[in-house]
Structure 1
């Protein structure tokens, strides 16, 4: 959040405006460029905050945020493409991951390949360590592919949203932050009509469970056994629900809903 934000809010209020602030990232979490007190002071200069999820809202409240907060649950993904129907080749469900595929940044990717040698994992993204990836027959680097193309066609039956260093939880600076943040990656997977795999301790887990669009687990060490339990009926339920959320993400449904609630609050206050 830029220096001067609270002064801009003050000027807007002097002119009779109301301010709705949509949080994309929290600087005091992501890159530590602000202290929590500095960031909360600026956020308190607004009238309504649109927060990612209940965990982010709770953290802000505990650190002194006083304004009205509304969860927008998941980031919309407004894009012209529609996710192609996807049918798994067999019950040995495969995974795909989109993002930074470096083992240095996400060492869990290497560990996951080691503990699930018979399950294919497709990697889409930047910073590949090709010589290292080649050591694992079940890891497949697919290149840097546009989101448009991934939505139209991708390899993998479940989208993986996991961050940090450990198979067990969101450890490390990025992993800890993702306990409160809703990654855009989850929305991309759902736009692909794919069920999502997330850490059960993450803020986004509540949405995944409520909408039945994926699997939440405490540790990736249990993922292989959990996937073996997924039968055709459960996989069809997850993909059918993902397809419904896909349509909402494409239309901007979640931001529209949160903004409507914010405006209603302002009109009543």
Structure 2
């Protein structure tokens, strides 16, 4: 990696004003930490929405719009001076619309490498052309998996080189203790947005549910075997999870991952999947999810079609089998917590750009 440092590789660095307790910031911060190992040259993006630190996003006043405008202008001129560099960037970039539609010159004037976090046109059904037009300005795109690559090519992406990251990293600096065998399902994330949660909790179950995250639905406390563990900073959450199996599920239903968000799992590598691997617990995922192939290949958990199938898993899983799944996961865990997957992807991307 050191051979790339200071050889025209620049990182587009977003300046954050506050730290947030959600996975989106953790994912981007981890990517920045790995990017930093390839270069210490930065192009700064000051234009992140400053409602993060003004009035908690409420009552956007004159000060809000003034600072936002100044930051947008600073960012525009910062980008304008960048030419003939290799850029490592997040996608989607955190630019306000006033900038986002007017900085194609940044991608055109440089050899751009995008690390894709999400593709909103697939996730929410928004304008596909908007995503594809920007991605096609890149030299290299680092994507989640082969299913996402095929989908983007189908939608019109013609990037010269595509790199499959396989798994998102989840950096952890502290030592992670081995997690204990227990008949519990861990679910972490934005609980208020997890529409299936209420119906799942209401099912007849032979296992406990441990919930971590924001916006816990208060009505869920009326059900047995439901334990709200609170909202933990993403960096320390793998240390707090004490055992069980991690669930990756989305959409409004319990019998499948349906709706737009459920369907997105066919193409997405959810960050919570990496969280569970970093934590050292086996996983349960939807059988039609893109990540199901990883679960099957490495034998690190179970793939299901319906959340009712978890009862049978819990009836059959022994402590010995649980520890076998953990052992199978160990190499992935070590690579995830040390940034190994993105490092490998960036090395491939830069090697292509240098050809």
The worse-fitting range, judged by mean Cα deviation, of 204-213 and 249-258 is 204-213
Confirm or deny that 1:24 pairs with 2:114. no
Instruction: Pick from 154, 169, 184 the counterpart of residue 76 of structure 1.
Output: 169
2:155 aligned to 63, 71, 76, which one? Answer: 63
Q: Distance in 1 between matches of 2:307 and 2:138?
A: 39
**Match for residue 176 of structure 1?**
263
2:328 paired with 1:241? yes
Query: Larger C-alpha radius of gyration, 1 or 2?
Result: 2
Partner of 1:15: none
Q: Distance in 2 between matches of 1:198 and 1:4?
A: 40
Contact 2:180 2:242 in 1 (8 A): no
Matches within 5 A, 1:91-240: 93-102=183-192, 105-130=193-218, 132-240=219-327
Superposition RMSD in Å: 1.9
The offset of 1:199, in angstroms, is 0.8
Q: How many residues align?
A: 256
Unaligned runs of 5+ in 1: 13-17
Cα distance, 1:27–1:110 mapped onto 2, change above 3 Å? closer
Deviations 1:222-252 (A, max 9, x none): 1211332323332112111223212111211
Q: Aligned in 2, Cα 1:200/1:43: closer, same or farther, shift over 3 Å? A: same
1:155-214: CA deviation from partner (whole Å, max 9, x where unpaired)? 441011111111122212222223211111111111110111111111121222222222
CA 246–232 in structure 1, closer or farther in 2 if over 3 Å, else same? same
Secondary structure at the aligned position of 1:88 is classed as strand
Q: Which structure 2 residue ranges, 5 or more long, are not aligned?
A: 1-91, 93-99
Normalising by structure 1, what TM-score? 0.87
Is the CA contact 1:120–1:138 (under 8 Å) kept in the aligned structure 2? yes
Output one character per residue of 1:57-115: Cα deviation in whole Å (capped at 9) or x when no partner: 110011111112111011111221232111214xxx2111111223xx32322222233
TM-score normalised over the length of structure 2: 0.67
Q: What corresponds to 1:42 in structure 2?
A: 134
